[in-house]
Amino acid sequence: MWSDYYAFDDDAREVRFLRPDMPQPWMNYLSNGDFHVMISQAGGGMVWYKSPQIWRITRYRFYNLPMDRPGPYIYLRDAEDGSVWSPSAEPCPTRPDEWSSAHGLGYTRFVGKRRDISASVTYFVPPGVDALIWRVKLRNDSDRARKIDVFAYVEFSLMEFLREVQWQCYVKHQLTVKHDGAFDGLVYHYGANMQLKPNETPDVFFAADSALTGWDGNRDVFVGAYRSEEGPAGVEGGCKNSELAGGDACGALQKAVDLAPGEEREIVFYLGVARDAADAASRVAALREPGAIEKHWIALGEAWKSKLNVFQASVPDEDASRELNWWNPYQVERNFLFSRSISYYAAGFRGVGFRDTAQDIVAMTSLDTAATREKIHVLLAEQWQDGHCNHTAYPVEGFPSDQRKFSDDHLWPILTVWQWIAETGDESILSDRVSYFDGGDGDVYEHLCRSIDFTKANMGSHDLPLMLYADWNDAMNKVGQGGVGESVWTAMQLGVVLPKLAEIAAARGDEVTRNDALAFGVALTDAVNGAGWDGGWYRRAFMDDGHILGTHDARQAQIFLNTQTWSVYSGMGSDERKRLSMDAVAQYLDSPLGIKKAHPPVTDYPTPENPLFAYLPGLGENASIFCHANAWAIIAECLLKRPERAWKYYHQLIPHVAMQNAGIERYMGEPYAYASNLFGPDSERFGLANVTWLTGTAAWMYLAVTEYILGIRPEWEGLRIEPCIPQEWPGFKATRRFRGCTYTIEVVGGGATVESMTVDGMGLEGAFVPHVADRETCEVRVVVTTGA
Ligand code: NOJ
């Protein structure tokens, strides 16, 4: 039963874990935007600063056994019997008598009790402070005096992860861990030669709120030979005050605590970055100021409250309510920060994926308009003068970008910028100047126009865009290697972005570009409905050798999800074809756990020697339930005004619901963070969640539920309110902060037809609330019905 494993505390916006041994680590991210921590329900995880590639502070042994090791651990040694345990349960074999942990928004907490000593530790990274705070509380619940030694421990990583893997034998002899008497803490200095950015590499400090009993910087001394973090020698026998000048580094801090019966004590540890030891001393001093930690804790809560207040809805479904009001926007923000680079599934080397981040921004814009504007600049700086864009960038590290050319990357920024203007009403972004990757610069508007120029220069014989390396689906990489294969889906992507570019061009008074964009859209619509139509649904692609993907008479991969959903999203399909296509999705692709990406899976198509996918049937790109792409099915059903299907597709993939449907031992992933995909029905492991946390599913599910199911959608002139909710709903209430105005929205009834609307008591035609400058509050009442 899932309820043996976890429970949601919705008032606290927490998920609580009732046992440490989940099927796999269930992660949380603690971050202030620069200083980051990934931490599991059992205390495993790692710490890094800005880049997990070049400023990785602590080590996490990805993919190794025992799983989920190490982490920022607390050990407690009980002087009465010498036993050692941890509030996080792991990594000690001796377990607490009582235990739970919890992930909340930006923090993780462990609570344990053993032999009448209660202990809790809360980890968080405060806004504006580049440090992990470990707030330990101990209480003596026995009737006798107790002596507890508290140890805080991290295993330091070499800052540069690739060099750690490749060259640690040399590099580890270019670092030190020293005790600094000025603030009674450790300073880890990584001074390796040939670093990419040596002047920006920080020192790391590790200190407590008061005097230490002991410390160690040498892992060999603290952990001891042939031991592990399960039972370090230094915990057993006490720290030896070792420093390190070359070798395997750690940070271990010991504090002896005497507790009278009933006494409670707080001890705070800080692991942070500084320019040098002197800077570390002043940062530690600031953290030791009376009240500082409580102030930072409150600031963290306030920051999340304010961010989430942009959109809150009260809906008659507990699972949806929890997901859409905090876990989903929280995941959106964390994706925006980390792209797809570091998670339990990715060891921190993926940089900033162009298309992934462009999509993340679309969902993130309402939550942070300043950060998204900046990120748009980062992406557009990866665009070449001919209009195409690099596939992956490494802006923090300065590594060379991945320069493969895809057919979709350069088109996403049109959607991204359009959304940014819709959210803010501020067209000035179009005039921001951004350099081109291969020299020179242009304003944002020019960048967007060049995207279309590139596609126009790369069209195929069916008048569809060339596939190039691949499109949104990375696994389409065998379609167009010969330079001939074409993507029907990319044509539909243009169907979405060309009208948006036309709107942007009109705002700039550029009629030529506007008309060109619209005309190109018409030509592509013809091609999509000509060569792209298969009779019952839309085809997916044309391969170099003429094989068609997504056709009914192929042996495998007869139908793909994306071209059905995007025929609706783009508006390129006729009404009849859109309905037929989405009916085919329901008939061939929907499964008891979600919608498959394609059907049937590929094993030997188009040829046994060179099948389209290397993925096994039902896995990843080959007919898994691709959650990211499921979100487009929700949007499509909303646009078709079929609320029951839209809701079914949405609800079945809410992580907690999907986990209950699949069973916890099968699903395995976190019940609060979306997965990229679930193994599909063609796999024996049907229902296994794969690549949770960092996935475009987060962005698109958020857009699907807020903008299409609840239907509250920013447009350039104001807010559209066009819900598509189950018939049996009595309605819902929402608040939306939009351009300085708080909209209080009451939707009455269920269905997808707006029958009437009042704005501040006045009746308005349609389902659109025009923006009025300087209005601070606005009350909207919408009556929806199931009517045709
Ligand atoms: C995950 C990749 O990060 C993303 O860029 C891609 O669009 C999807 N997989 C589908 O292939």
Does any ligand 1 atom lie closer than 6 A to the CB of residue 597? no
Q: How far is CA 594 from CA 46, 160, 602, 630, 716, in A?
A: 33, 40, 19, 8, 34
Report which ligand 1 atom has the smallest distance to the Cα of 355.
Answer: 5
The Å distance, Cα 316 to ligand 1 centre, comes to 33
Does any ligand 1 atom lie closer than 6 A to the CB of residue 353? yes
Burial of 3 (0-12, 13-18, 19+ CB in 10 A): exposed
Q: Which two tokens stand for residue 45?
A: 């995880």
- Strand ranges for 339-440 from DSSP E: 352-353, 392-393, 433-435
At residue 756, the pLDDT reads 97
Write out residues in the chain with pLDDT < 70, as ranges.
Answer: 788
Among 472, 627, 697, name the best residue to mutate to test ligand 1's pocket (greatest count of ligand atoms within 8 A of Cβ). Answer: 472
The Å distance, Cα 675 to ligand 1 centre, comes to 12
What distance in Å separates the CA atoms of residue 528 and residue 495, rounded to the nearest whole number? 10
- pLDDT tens digits for range 709-753: 999 999 999 999 999 999 999 999 999 999 999 999 999 999 999
Take atom 3 of ligand 1 and give the residue whose Cα is closest.
356
At residue 1, the pLDDT reads 79
What distance in Å separates the CA atoms of residue 710 and residue 79, rounded to the nearest whole number? 58
Report which ligand 1 atom has the smallest distance to the Cα of 470.
Answer: 11
Q: Which two tokens stand for residue 194?
A: 């040939």
Take atom 11 of ligand 1 and give the residue whose Cα is closest.
473
The Å distance, Cα 691 to ligand 1 centre, comes to 11
What distance in Å separates the CA atoms of residue 177 and residue 186, rounded to the nearest whole number? 7
Helix axis angle, 369-380 relative to 412-424, nearest 10°? 150
Take atom 10 of ligand 1 and give the residue whose Cα is closest.
473
The Å distance, Cα 486 to ligand 1 centre, comes to 18
What distance in Å separates the CA atoms of residue 31 and residue 23, rounded to the nearest whole number? 25
What distance in Å separates the CA atoms of residue 324 and residue 320, rounded to the nearest whole number? 6
Helix axis angle, 292-308 relative to 328-338, nearest 10°? 110
Question: Can the peptide bond before residue 70 be classed as cis, meaning omega within 30 degrees of 0?
Answer: yes
- pLDDT tens digits for range 443-501: 999 999 999 999 999 999 999 999 999 999 999 999 999 999 999 999 999 999 999 99
Does any ligand 1 atom lie closer than 6 A to the CB of residue 355? yes
Take atom 7 of ligand 1 and give the residue whose Cα is closest.
472
Nearest to residue 490, comparing CAs of 527, 536, 530, 517? 527
At residue 274, the pLDDT reads 98
Nearest to residue 165, comparing CAs of 262, 56, 81, 89? 56
The Å distance, Cα 406 to ligand 1 centre, comes to 12
The Å distance, Cα 555 to ligand 1 centre, comes to 25
Q: Which two tokens stand for residue 398?
A: 């300065």
Annotate 435-463 with three-state secondary structure: ECCCCCEEEHHHHHHHHHHHHHCCECCCC
Which alpha helices (DSSP H) does 388-443 contain, by range? 412-424
Q: How far is CA 639 from CA 475, 642, 752, in A?
A: 28, 8, 9
Take atom 8 of ligand 1 and give the residue whose Cα is closest.
473
Q: Which two tokens stand for residue 79?
A: 């002087």
Report which ligand 1 atom has the smallest distance to the Cα of 350.
Answer: 3
Does any ligand 1 atom lie closer than 6 A to the CB of residue 605? no
Q: Which two tokens stand for residue 546?
A: 């003429």
At residue 788, the pLDDT reads 58
At residue 787, the pLDDT reads 78
Does any ligand 1 atom lie closer than 6 A to the CB of residue 296? no
The Å distance, Cα 472 to ligand 1 centre, comes to 6
Question: Can the peptide bond before residue 23 be classed as cis, meaning omega within 30 degrees of 0?
Answer: no
Q: Which two tokens stand for residue 540?
A: 């997916």
Does any ligand 1 atom lie closer than 6 A to the CB of residue 356? yes
Element (H, E) at 107: strand 107-114
At residue 487, the pLDDT reads 99
Among 341, 343, 356, 562, name the best residue to mutate to test ligand 1's pocket (greatest count of ligand atoms within 8 A of Cβ). Answer: 356
